[in-house]
């Protein structure tokens, strides 16, 4: 999948070896409503748009493959799959680390609550461990591994374009699979920023820090709501780091995400790079057409 300010393209390699392309105009909410372009407002919007377009791209690729095999992916099946995925994410990456942190404090006879800085350090460490183990685990599935390889192909293709080189497989092959503005980098920055924001927020509301299973659910739900300001701050950090990759502080901020991309952006083969190039050329062609129309 490739996205530009005015275009969205998804290229899919079908089981018969051909490539099908879905290309359409795209207009971000930040372009429709200029107020949303302001710092700390644009982050949550861009995050949600990336999530939506990513899910749509995966759904389209699955549907394209099934249609080739004369099968259909119903909206009910898709909704059930996505709903189950979000529920499992909430339980395993939200509630379970939170509950285990409280249990850890109980076992040490040192009752930890969300009002304690140490609580969020341990909670964040458990989340990070779960996320890395999850990514590493699913990477052993053949289909997921191919998704990660296509992720690497996207990065190689974008790096080729940003380097001003011809958009050809031979040039893309020479580039790395990591990119500083990848969503994987964003994910780890979110963990670090959430550590700070949770530490500041919860001590102001003592009633929210009480121990108990029901209270733990409420506390995790509050954390979910706080993801909007966390995404806002995290996006600005990633944006600044991506624009100044040579600065020492930017290198420090980008390093964890780039290291994690070794798990999520794998080395692709040439056929996968070809697919990424098809999508990129499609969005560039639409951008060129829009530019010419605006000059008329």
Q: Output the CA angle 84-153-89, nearest 5 degrees.
A: 15
* Residues in Cβ contact with 129 at an 8 Å cutoff, skipping those fewer than 6 apart: none
Residue of 74, 76, 122 whose CA lies nearest to 96:
122
Radius of gyration of the chain (CA): 21
> Beta-strand (E) ranges in the chain?
2-4, 7-13, 19-25
Tell me: pLDDT of 15 over 70. yes
C-alpha span between 54 and 45 (Å, rounded): 14
For residues 69 and 15, the answer to whether their CB atoms sit within 8 Å is yes
Among 31-35, 92-96, 118-122, 290-294, the least confident range: 290-294
- Please state, in angstroms and rounded to a whole number, the distance separating the CA atoms of residues 112 and 105: 5
- Single pTM value for the model: 0.84
Given a contact cutoff of 8 angstroms between Cβ atoms, the answer to whether 23 and 286 are in contact is: yes
Cα(296)–Cα(290) distance, rounded to whole angstroms?
A: 10
Q: Rounded distance, CA 287 to CA 296, Å?
A: 15
pLDDT value of residue 115: 85
Mean pLDDT (whole number) for 77-99: 80
- Residue 222 tokens read as 């509050």
Specify the DSSP element, H or E, that contains 44.
helix 42-68
Tens digits of per-residue pLDDT, 37-80? Answer: 888 888 888 888 888 888 888 888 877 766 655 555 556 666 77
56 or 158: whose pLDDT is higher?
158
Q: What is the pLDDT of residues 239-252, one digit of tens each?
A: 888 788 888 888 88
d(CA 242, CA 236): 10
Vertex 168 angle, CA 163 and 169, to 5°: 105
Q: Reply yes or no on whether the pLDDT at 91 is more than 90.
A: no
**Hey, is 21 helix, strand or coil?**
strand
pLDDT of residue 78: 61
Q: So what's the pLDDT on residue 188?
A: 79
Residue 284 · residue 290 · CB < 8 Å? no
Mean predicted confidence (pLDDT) in 173-195: 85
Spatial contact of 157 and 280, defined as CB atoms under 8 Å apart: yes
| Measured distance CA(92)–CA(86) in Å, rounded | 10
Question: What average pLDDT does the chain have?
Answer: 86
Which pLDDT does position 106 carry in this prediction? Answer: 83
Q: What was the pLDDT predicted at 280?
A: 95
Of the two residues 6 and 79, the one the predictor is more confident about is 6
Task: Give the pair of three-digit tokens for residue 49.
Answer: 């748009």
Residue 149 pLDDT > 60: yes
What is the reported pLDDT for 68? 54
pLDDT at 165 over 80: yes
Percent of the chain at pLDDT above 70? 93
Instruction: Give Cβ neighbours of residue 51 (< 8 Å, ≥ 6 apart).
Output: none
């Amino acid at each position: 999948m490739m996205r530009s300010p005015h275009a969205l393209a998804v290229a899919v390699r079908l089981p018969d070896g051909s490539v099908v392309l879905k290309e359409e105009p795209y207009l971000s909410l930040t372009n429709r409503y200029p107020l949303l372009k302001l710092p700390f407002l644009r982050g949550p919007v861009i995050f949600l748009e990336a999530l939506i377009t990513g899910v749509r791209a995966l759904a389209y690729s699955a549907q394209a493959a099934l249609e080739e095999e004369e099968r259909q992916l119903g909206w009910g099946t898709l909704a059930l799959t996505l709903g189950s995925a979000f529920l499992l994410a909430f339980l395993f990456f939200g509630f379970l680390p939170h509950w285990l942190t409280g249990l850890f404090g109980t076992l040490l006879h040192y009752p930890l609550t969300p009002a304690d800085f140490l609580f969020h350090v341990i909670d964040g460490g458990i989340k990070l461990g779960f996320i890395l183990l999850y990514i590493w685990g699913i990477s052993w599935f053949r289909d997921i591994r191919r998704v990660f390889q296509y992720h690497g192909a996207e990065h190689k293709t974008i790096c080729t374009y940003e380097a001003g080189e011809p958009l050809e497989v031979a040039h893309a092959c020479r580039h790395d699979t990591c990119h500083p503005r990848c969503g994987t980098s964003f994910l780890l920055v979110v963990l670090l920023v959430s550590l700070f924001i949770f530490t500041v927020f919860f001590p102001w509301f003592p009633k929210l820090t009480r121990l108990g299973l029901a209270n733990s659910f409420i506390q995790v739900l509050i954390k979910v709501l706080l993801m909007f300001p966390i995404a806002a701050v995290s996006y600005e950090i990633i944006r600044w780091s991506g624009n100044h990759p040579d600065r020492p502080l930017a290198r420090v901020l980008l390093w964890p995400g780039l290291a994690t991309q070794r798990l999520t952006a794998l080395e692709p083969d040439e056929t996968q790079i070809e697919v990424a190039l098809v999508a990129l050329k499609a969005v560039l062609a639409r951008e060129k057409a829009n530019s010419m129309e605006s000059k008329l």
